[in-house]
Amino acid sequence: MELFDYSLFVSAIRMVSPILLAALGGALCARVGIFNVGLEGLILAGAFSAIVGNHFTENIFLALLTAVAVSVLVSLLFGYATIHLKSNPIVAGIAINFLMLGLTTFALRAIFDVKGAYYNKDMSGLPKVDIPFVEDIPVVGQLISGHSPLVYTAFLAAILLYVFFYRTVTGFRVLAVGKNEAAARSLGLKVTTIQYGAIIMSGVLCGLAGAQLSLGQVTMFTEGMTAGRGFIALVAMMLGQSHPIGIAGSSLLFGLMDALSIRLQGFSMPTQFTAMLPYVITIIAMFFLKDRGSDSLAGQHTSR
């Protein structure tokens, strides 16, 4: 078995999508002056509700809608706490994470009457999309074609978010709110509406990220299956400086580390060592980002 081959990069592209989707959701919140630490809880809510929706409707599309709807509801709870109640967004985000961890664990036992994990061999996951003509191209076809629709949605979302931020009037207004909330209000911008809109879209993207985890990568739900991906998405957002293209690049790095950690298990390396690889890279990235991250938080505190 080779350590680096095409299958490793194929796996990396598949694994990058939950991180990328969540990081883009975090960037939307950051651009309106709200540091959303609750990404982990939002992804977990999406992952569990996608399985629930699939179980009761036996329809993938309705399962995705369920994941998005539940994640949006949770994000609105976060938005109400931070915007209307003026609570600290970091405290509110951590509370959301713990709430979803406990709630999904309880619901897993209440709905499916199981502990730890739910799996149904008859449950169908997200389909694989084979791109015509592209799949026949040597090397490239294997790398690009054959992924779930949400993998392509993640990269498309990065491109669309870039166009939205830097090529549309509404996008410039969103950026203005994040730069200086008081100045944006003085210009007549509906700051609260814009902030809620960003939080709702963050919920949509995190819901899709969760659905990719539970229906795209595997077809099951396990307690705490996000395994810190929401926090990795935060680091990817900071590493990319909340720029959609930069976020895509940093997410690819973390996705590659995630795939590499799984590959290393095939070389008889201890599972505990290989599992910690993505988080070691995250910690190293945080060291490089310590000044940039503190400046970002200070800027957001000033704008609020």
Task: Output the pLDDT for position 159.
Answer: 96
Q: Which of 207, 164, 173, 172 has its CA nearest to residue 192?
A: 173
220 strand-pairing partners: 119
6-303 CATH choice from 1.10.3470, 2.10.270, 1.10.1760, 3.40.1350: 1.10.3470
Q: Which of 256, 230, 178 has its CA nearest to residue 26?
A: 230
Token reading at 198: 């960003």
Q: Is the Cβ–Cβ distance between 41 and 206 less than 8 Å?
A: no
Task: Output the pLDDT for position 302.
Answer: 47
Question: What is the separation of C-alpha 265 from the centre of its chain, rounded to a whole number of angstroms?
Answer: 25
Q: Give CA–CA dist 67/44, Å, rounded.
A: 10
Task: Output the pLDDT for position 303.
Answer: 47
Task: Output the pLDDT for position 7.
Answer: 76
Query: What separation, in Å, do the N-terminal and C-terminal C-alpha atoms of the chain show?
Result: 53
Enter the DSSP assignment of 187: T
Q: Give CA–CA dist 273/225, Å, rounded.
A: 18
3-class secondary structure, 54:
helix
Enter the DSSP assignment of 134: G
Task: Output the pLDDT for position 269.
Answer: 73
Angle at 264 between CA 263 and CA 266, to 5 degrees: 75
Q: Give CA–CA dist 117/127, Å, rounded.
A: 22
Token reading at 205: 């993207």
Task: Output the pLDDT for position 30.
Answer: 94
Dihedral of CA 158/163/164/165: which sign?
positive
Task: Output the pLDDT for position 298.
Answer: 46
| pLDDT tens for each residue of 52-103 | 999 999 999 999 999 999 999 999 999 999 999 999 999 999 999 999 999 9
Q: Give CA–CA dist 202/227, Å, rounded.
A: 19
For residue 207, what are the CA distances in angstroms to 21, 157, 280?
Answer: 9, 14, 26
Low-confidence ranges of the chain (pLDDT < 50): 293-299, 301-303
